[in-house]
Amino acid sequence: MSEGKYLGKLVDYPQHYAPEMLVAVPRHLNREIYQLTDDNLPFVGFDAWHAYELSFLTERGLPVTGLLKFVYPATNPSLVESKSLKLYLNSFNMDRFGQTPDEGLNTVLATIKKDLSNLLETEVTLQFFDALPQTATFDFDGYALLEKEAEAADLTFNQFTEAPDLLKSEFEDAGELRLATHLLRSNCKITHQPDWGSAYIYMKGSVLPAKTTLLQYLVSIRNENHFHEEICEMIYKRLWDIFIPTELAVTCIYTRRGGIDICPARASHLNLLPKHLLNAEVLSGKLLRQ
């Protein structure tokens, strides 16, 4: 099915459970331009999704409402198209499951896990939350914000489509860096609606990017039309190819749109991935706009 089957189109919301609404988008469609092939990916990774509008009725008509978090690996064949997921999840809204909220929740979560795992041809882990945790864990302490660097205000920004030639090295035998920006912006591949987010970058190697040029590069993504996962992989691949680091991790935490946010993370080694964000059982701390 087409990745644009529902995006940008007026679609009636289903009134009953409708697994046929789900659309899988083959990952290779968004990787070929970056010379990324399934048998030779330069990263491991996962996609963490938060769906804020999961709801259904018990057999007695009592609504159950909360947040669904689910996670699946970046090495599977496809990703789920976000509007199709929204339509699918909303198909539970007026259907009845279980005599009690817990009984209904067990049925609904098992159904969603089965449907998504079958669609994506991989194991999907998920968890339902109906309250905020007392303490929210956070994976990115110690990351310096690029836009808060002293030089940032004096930079000139005039490229707003992806420009990897902006990336320049600064140090030899530099060691490692932990940098972030809350200025990430790109657009939906199909509708061109803006997507806002934050990027976190860890890199270790003998040659590292100058902070000023890294910020200019990340701002240059502003008018790109790609899915969230492709933006994350694009940033990763550019840094991987240009600087040849020994270790690299890129995580993009996007704000929600249509009741869903998508947070892809890619890394050269498993231990570099954000463990709380990618744990379906943990509702981790996020950011100002999430």
Instruction: Give yes or no: 173 in active site.
Output: no
Instruction: Give yes or no: 252 in active site.
Output: no
- Give the SS3 label for residue 157: coil
**Two tokens, residue 211:** 């902070």
Residue 5: which of 86, 68, 120, 77 has the closest Cα?
Answer: 86
**Two tokens, residue 179:** 């940098």
Q: Are 56 and 63 in contact (CB under 8 A)?
A: yes
How far, rounded to the nearest angstrom, does the alpha carbon of residue 11 sit from its chain's CA centroid? 24
Marked catalytic residue, from 47, 115, 188, 263: 188
> What is the side-by-side order of every strand in the sheet holding 144-145?
125-129, 63-73, 44-57, 260-267, 247-254, 194-209, 169-187, 144-145
**Two tokens, residue 160:** 């707003």
* 39: Cβ contacts below 8 Å, ≥ 6 apart: none
How many other CB atoms are found less than 10 A from the CB of residue 185? 18
Marked catalytic residue, from 115, 139, 195, 261: 195
Residues involved in catalysis: 188, 195
